[in-house]
Structure 1
Amino acid sequence: MNTVLLDKMNTIKTLNHIADSGLKVFNKKTFTVDNNSENPDAIVVRSFNMHSVEFGNKLKAIARAGAGVNNIPVEKCTEEGIVVFNTPGANANAVKEMVLASLLAASRNLFAGVAWTKTLEAEREQVSKLVEAGKKQFVGKEIKGKTLGVIGLGAIGALVANDALNLDMDVIGFDPFISVDTAWNLSRNVQRAMTIEQLFAESDYITVHVPLTEDTRGMFNQKAFSIMKQGVHILNFSRGELVNEIDMAVALEDGSVGKFITDFPNENVLKMKNTVCIPHLGASTVESEENCAVMAARQVKVFLETGNIKNSVNFPNAEIPYTGKRRVTAFHRNVPNMVGQITAAFSTYQLNIADMVNRSRGGYAYTMIDIDNEITDEIIPGLVEKINQIDGIVTARII
């Protein structure tokens, strides 16, 4: 149980280099960035492994400047009432451009051709003749008129699908959990696969944009390859563990898979035939890093100043327009009568409720209540204590 008041000055700590455009979001009147702090109010991180990091008792939020949160102990954060944010969509355009560039380059054998040409450097005046003689080995295929299967139609997948249509490809998509926002942004010309097996069977190229879960781990395996077209090209810019590497090596060797393009090389993948290994460059652009930093910082700032939550991976999203009234926020167990007990604490001090929201996520819930009355600082400690005594409260703040 950890009930706290909002400090007048919030300390932000970064565990990686965060773009200056993101840090500028934190105004100096109410925020200070101190990377030496042992007990910050919030942490902004990129890929730093936080699983062995000790959390101070003031820590309220961690923001990942990126989509994946495997480097953050999310379950531990939930148990301690620390909200974890990510930045979905902030790097979507960067990854989309890399997917399409790799799709084109791999289809035309550009990577192998460029690498071969560099070996001719010592041939001097013979280079032109050798190029003309050797280029036949790199004859590729045009993507126009071919079918691209897109697995996962979130921020990245939808952009890839739409732009592939503009390259005159036929596009088929599969995503049983597609959001309303994505559906609005997705071209009506993207065909819908009713099953992933249908997508496997109809695609000449397959690109995957789904998170790593127990259901998606190893989804590209011998069974999947047996359904696909002979010589299919597979692109993975999501997570390396989506691919069963033993099965992929066999499929590449016998030609079931024509080419494997991955942003996640390792010792095993580097040995595979017909594999294009990219050094995790999907989101590595100046613009992407800035977009992620700004989005992460804004989410932390809004949460610390208003309690509103958007793009959390462990708390429910919840927002009330902030009017400057005193606001109580509580993260608690999702059990009966929690809201009733919290509001009962208000009645002790004859406080009226101006607005309220309660959202749940799994075994936990988040409640925000705006107080209609003008209240003095003398009332706050008693109200804090009342809320703190409620069984099931994990963290609470008065803003």
Structure 2
Amino acid sequence: MKKVLLSEKIDDAGINLLKDNGFEVKIAANTDALTMAKEIEDAYAVIMRSSELPAEVIDAGKQLKIISRNGTGINNVNVDEATKKGILVAKVNGANAFSVAEYVITTMLMLSRKLMHTDKLLHEKQNKLTGMSLPGFSTKYNLNGNELAGKTLAILGYGKIGQQLALLAKAFNMNVIGYDPYAKNADIKLYDNLNKIWPIADFISINMPLTPETKDTITAKELKSMKNSAFVINSARGGIINENDLATALNNDEIAGAAIDAFSSEPPKPNNPLFNSKNTIITSHVAGTTKEANRRLGLGAAQAVIDFSNGKMPEFPVNPEVGVSKED
């Protein structure tokens, strides 16, 4: 019976699919390299979530044939090492596109309508509300926010998530623009220069992968070019925004707010400046992990292992040059 090692638990639907197809499923006791290296030794496949899979762990997989990502991004997997070892890497595309797009819209509404600030002030001043109208309270404390309608949303990265986000944003009557040098036949206006986007966008949503080219796409320079009423949402990967520069811009009112779901170091260190920056929503990498999305991701990651074991190339291979399993 072939063993599939899960770095972290995936949705039960994916686990059951593997078991129904004759695989032994084991969940790693921890995601640290030492534990993973020990538990991967006799694994035919490993399914990774967001924890790291470095070269030394891949090398320890003496029977390892396929690494399946329970998600789209593969920056946590050493693909070069896997390819060198003849190990296929596969991922799941599009399974969480709606969930991430929904998260972006949710945080845009929260920021634009000042819901966090309103909630905080109502709790703080609950004993001082007697005799005051709530609309008067809202006016006194500048809690009346703005609609999304008519505002410009810039989507950086126009893949499946970006396209789904554009559909939702258009339903709010937003003006949607974007940037993606690899996108073809886009249904929104794509700019070829990010410097043209910063001064005109009311909301900037990052939906691109973290690569050497996209690292530090937004630093102090870019933040100073934005409207002081602009909001930045990162539901992609940490490192695309310089976190220190972002916190400084927020605290100096250079931009109006931010929502951050991914950090350059995960979990974020206790001294991460975004923990204490003004008007910032921080969440625990939940943008794409609704129950519905998790089910689709788990099934997709499991199916990649099953397909490969049956001599079929998975739907979304990262290094297809490795080829498919030669086993019967």
TM-score bracket relative to the smaller structure:
0.7 to 0.9
Larger Rg: 1
Ranges in structure 2 where 5+ consecutive residues have no aligned partner: 28-38
Partners of 1:17 and 1:42 in 2: CA distance: 14
For 1:56 and 1:156, the matched residues in 2 are separated by 33
Q: Distance in 1 between matches of 2:152 and 2:65?
A: 46
Question: Residues of 1 paired with 2:240 and 2:24: CA distance?
Answer: 40
The equivalent residue for 2:93 is 88
Deviation at 1:366, TM superposition (A): 4.2
Query: Equivalences for 1:42-121 in 2 at 5 Å?
Result: 42-51=45-54, 53=57, 55-120=60-125
Superposed counterparts of 1:260-339, under 5 Å: 260-264=258-262, 266=268, 267-313=272-318, 315-316=319-320
- Offset of residue 215 of structure 1: 1.4
Provide the aligned C-alpha RMSD in A.
2.4
Contact 2:169/2:176 (8 A) holds in 1: yes
Q: Which residue matches 1:175? A: 180
- 2:17 partner SS: coil
Give the Å deviation of 1:133: 4.4
Of 204-213 and 277-286, deviating more is 277-286
Quickly say closer, same or farther: Cα 1:239–1:176, change in 2 above 3 A: same
**Could you tell me how far apart the structure 1 residues matched to 2:288 and 2:298 are?**
13
- Find the counterpart in structure 1 of residue 32 from structure 2: none
Q: Could you tell me which residue of structure 2 aligns to residue 232 of structure 1?
A: 230
The 1:28–1:270 alpha-carbon spacing in structure 2 relative to 1, beyond 3 Å, is closer
Q: Indicate the SS of the match to 2:197.
A: helix
Distance 1:37 1:224 in 2: 43
1:195 to 193, 196, 199: 193
1:245-290 deviation line (CA, Å, top 9, x unaligned): 2322332233321112211364211122232222322122111111
Q: Which residue of structure 2 lines up, in the alignment, with residue 41 of structure 1?
A: 44
Secondary structure, counterpart of 2:198 in structure 1? helix
TM-aligned CA deviation for residue 144 of structure 1: 0.6
Conserved 8 A contact 1:148-1:206: yes
The offset of 1:207, in angstroms, is 0.6
Secondary structure of the 1:129 match is coil
Contact 1:120 1:127 in 2 (8 A): no
SS in 2 for 1:397: coil
> How many residue pairs end up in the alignment?
306
Tell me if the contact between 1:117 and 1:131 (Cα under 8 Å) persists in the aligned partners.
no
Work out whether 1:397 is the aligned partner of 2:326: yes
Q: Distance in 2 between matches of 1:87 and 1:366?
A: 18
- Structure-to-structure mapping, 1:244-255, within 5 angstroms: 244-255=242-253
**Preserved contact between residue 40 and residue 56 of structure 1 (Cα < 8 Å):** yes
Structure showing the higher strand proportion among its residues: 1
What runs of 5+ residues in structure 1 fail to find an aligned partner? 1-8, 317-364, 369-395
> What corresponds to 2:148 in structure 1?
143
Return closer, same or farther for 1:279/1:34 CA change in 2, 3 Å cut-off.
closer
Q: Deviations over 1:191-217 (max 9, x none)?
A: 222322222232111111011111111
Give the residue type in structure 2 aligned to 1:45.
Answer: M
Q: Quick one: structure 1 residues 225 and 37, their matched pair in 2 at CA, closer, same or farther if it must change by over 3 Å?
A: closer
Instruction: Give the equivalent residue in structure 2 for 1:19.
Output: 11
C-alpha offsets along residues 219-267 of structure 1, whole Å, 9 cap, x if unaligned? 1112222432332111111122111223223322333211122113642
TM-score, structure 1 as length reference: 0.70
Q: Distance in 1 between matches of 2:16 and 2:284?
A: 30
